[in-house]
Amino acid sequence: SQKIEQNSEALNIQEGKTATLTCNYTNYSPAYLQWYRQDPGRGPVFLLLIRENEKEKRKERLKVTFDTTLKQSLFHITASQPADSATYLCALGGLIYNQGGKLIFGQGTELSVKP
Amino acid sequence: ETGVTQSPTHLIKTRGQQVTLRCSSQSGHNTVSWYQQALGQGPQFIFQYYREEENGRGNFPPRFSGLQFPNYSSELNVNALELDDSALYLCASSHIPGSPYEQYFGPGTRLTVT
């Protein structure tokens, strides 16, 4: 069956450390993968997109890797800050023709950065 | 601020009733997608509208229906509400359907069915 899984347990780290979040999927062949941030009571906010033919993408303190053989994406936040505390969602896209812009989301990983 | 607005912010309905949720897309976006997010879960795709036509649908029954208007705003209608319909309903707008562009989400409508 098709599945997309993120770290199910909340991630607690110390300020200044690197946070690494995992997104694994099975029985999907996405053309791209996106990462979003969601704060309580708010809609998700887009962070990064990586295509199937790209290995790594960076934006400021954020880095995403995409391994289509392992069917896994890793999301890193370097020099983490308490303001980075939020739930992070991965989403698969470009899955099926005529499915529009359907995104398949993972359940999210809650990150807490302690000062 | 993304520019996507939704109304109302909160809503309480009784099982069996009908509800209409509204969304105004970001300026310049002609595509609107609707998602349902249960507590502790990721958003689930309901359907997408592009130029007033449905352009893809997820695994939701026909009692979930939608509309898109010429100004690209959109409505989500849910008939015969069930307790499991209680969730955060998100709309997202984007430039072009099916392309790898980010989707801009609104703040959501929290629906509670009692």
**Ordered mean pLDDT values, 10 residues apiece, chain A (115 residues):** 86 97 92 94 93 94 96 97 97 69 90 96
Chain A interface includes B66 (CB < 8 A): no
Chain A interface includes B40 (CB < 8 A): yes
Strand A62-67 versus strand A19-26 pairing type: unpaired
Q: Quick one: pLDDT at residue A48? A: 94
Q: How close A15 gets to chain B, by Cα (Å)?
A: 25
Strand A109-114 versus strand A11-14 pairing type: parallel
CB contact under 8 A, B102 and A34: yes
Q: Quick one: pLDDT at residue A27? A: 87
> Could you tell me where the beta strands, DSSP code E, fall in chain A?
3-6, 11-14, 19-26, 32-38, 45-51, 56-59, 62-67, 72-77, 86-93, 104-105, 109-114
Q: Quick one: pLDDT at residue A94? A: 75
Structure tokens that stand for A39 in this block: 């704060």
Q: Quick one: pLDDT at residue B33? A: 93
**Chain B positions in Cβ-Cβ contact with residue A93 (cut-off 8 Å):** 100
For B84-111, how does the pLDDT look when each residue is reduced to its tens digit (9 = 90+)?
Answer: 999 999 999 987 665 667 889 999 999 9
CB contact under 8 A, A32 and B48: no
Q: Quick one: pLDDT at residue B99? A: 64
Asked if residue A51 lies in contact with residue A108, where contact means CB atoms within 8 angstroms, the answer is: no
For B29-77, how does the pLDDT look when each residue is reduced to its tens digit (9 = 90+)?
Answer: 888 999 999 999 999 999 999 889 998 888 999 999 999 999 889 999 9
Chain A interface includes B61 (CB < 8 A): no
Interface A:B, Cβ pairs < 8 A: 76
Q: How close B93 gets to chain A, by Cα (Å)?
A: 10
Q: Quick one: pLDDT at residue A9? A: 87
